Structure 1
Amino acid sequence: MKYAIKIHKFSTVDDLDNAWNLEDFKVLLERFELPNVESTDLKEVRELLFMAIADKDPSEAARIVLDYKLSNEMNEHQIDSVSYEMLVDKISEEYPRIELHKTLFIINQLLYKAFNGKFPNAKATIIDFDITPKMNADKDITKEIVLKCFAQNLDSHNVIKRLFHNQLDAEEAFEEANDIIWFLNKTENQYQLITSDYFMSSQEFINEEFDANISFYEEE
């Protein structure tokens, strides 16, 4: 299948809009021993939470936030281990379960800002683009289609090309595509994707306009 892609804008960010809501912050404030906060101003409550987080040991603070967000995905031992690893490594890029990278990024960046840089600063990539199916190509644009197209316009050092070449070549199913791309949103006339800067950075793209021929894995 053939697609034409035009990239309109790259953005590199260290935070995601709407990653946390007021209820999240209030629950965390209770866990950080500052309950019964009555304010409904998100910015004010966020600042209170940052102060409460900063009063804790960094690894203990990480454990509390990890337990809140990922207790259904990690056991107590895993949470304890990650809470220490987060202080020295970009765990949102290195954790073996790719499906947890987005949540680990959100947690990492909350802690990074609360502790004024004691945690590594991870980045996310936002790309606004058009994608046009050619001839009989599937018009239902999925994360796999986008990722396979974009990979053809990335330089040879890109981690997706190095780790997932069999999936990109349709020799294996590309189930990881749904987790590598965190969000794929369609606006009025364009698409926007959000992913980790680890997987796709603006410096790795070769052209802003390109065509891509892709294929899909078929079980025998």
Structure 2
Amino acid sequence: MQAKFTVQIDSFKKISKISNAWSGEDYKALLTLMDFDDDVDAMDAAERREMCLMSLSDLKPEDAAVVVLTHLFPKLSRGKVEQMSRDMLNESSWEEYPDCLYHERFFNAYGLLREAFNGKFAKPTGAEMTLAVSAAHAEDMAIFDISMHSAIVRLLASGQGDDALINRLYEDQIKGKHFPESKGIVWQLKQIADNGVARQFSLVSSSFWLENFEQMDAFEAVSHADAEE
């Protein structure tokens, strides 16, 4: 059964990188992949980052992309990684790659490589939003306890109308009982307040999915949870 909600958009901000997407351990792993000789363990996170960017910039852009993607997608074959790295130079892979579950990692890859190569790579376009979601009955909010990602993505899809791309691409999942792709559409999601019949959420995604909300203040929508296993 579909529950009805009122959604207030508290904030909307375009972003080109996600805060804290890369850790000191990530930089260490990248330097190791590039056969960096110095003692990486002796460096702090800032030094590792600086050395990582310098080392990436010493490579050809496609070779640097291979290093970054090898780290981000360790289960993929070398051949697949090389193909993906070539595609990155001409495509917006954070929104165009067929499997949306890869999109957040591509977004982070573009951010790092763009920094290393002074804009050689396309500028990734993302968005941060905070939403206040309210319902007539507190029990309607339970869908966010069952499957928060799926319920929020269905809510966002409902707020955009039937002709929106998300509704055309994922009609079966939006109407159905399981939506595994939801975590590839909304990359980061947190509930930051719960007042019974109202909750507040923060989320990060590609502007590819969220751009329709930039000029909105509020909307009415329906949603439901995934079926419990």
Q: TM-score, normalised by structure 2?
A: 0.84
- Choose the corresponding residue for 2:222, options 202, 213, 216: 213
Q: What is the aligned partner in structure 2 of residue 17 from structure 1?
A: 19
Q: Which region of structure 1 is more displaced relative to structure 2, 171-180 or 126-135? A: 171-180
Pick closer, same or farther for the CA change 1:66–1:134 going to 2, 3 Å. Answer: same
The CA distance in 1 between the partners of 2:12 and 2:152, in whole Å, is: 15
The CA distance in 2 between the partners of 1:80 and 1:106, in whole Å, is: 17
Residues 1-220 of structure 1 mapped to structure 2, 5 A cutoff? 1-35=3-37, 36-37=39-40, 38-40=42-44, 42-72=45-75, 74-135=76-137, 136-141=139-144, 142-154=148-160, 158-168=164-174, 170-171=175-176, 173-188=178-193, 190-201=200-211, 203-204=212-213, 207-215=216-224
1:206 Cα deviation after fit: 6.0
What's the % identity of the aligned pairs? 25
Q: TM-score, normalised by structure 1?
A: 0.87
Whichever structure has more helix as a proportion of its residues is: 2
Question: What is the total number of aligned residue pairs between the two structures?
Answer: 215
Contact 1:182/1:194 (CA < 8 Å) preserved in 2?
A: yes
| Pairwise CA RMSD | 2.3
Pick closer, same or farther for the CA change 1:17–1:216 going to 2, 3 Å. Answer: closer
Contact 1:154/1:205 (CA < 8 Å) preserved in 2?
A: no
**Structure 2: stretches of 5+ with no match in the other structure:** 195-199
Pick closer, same or farther for the CA change 1:24–1:215 going to 2, 3 Å. Answer: closer
Contact 2:143/2:151 (CA < 8 Å) preserved in 1?
A: no
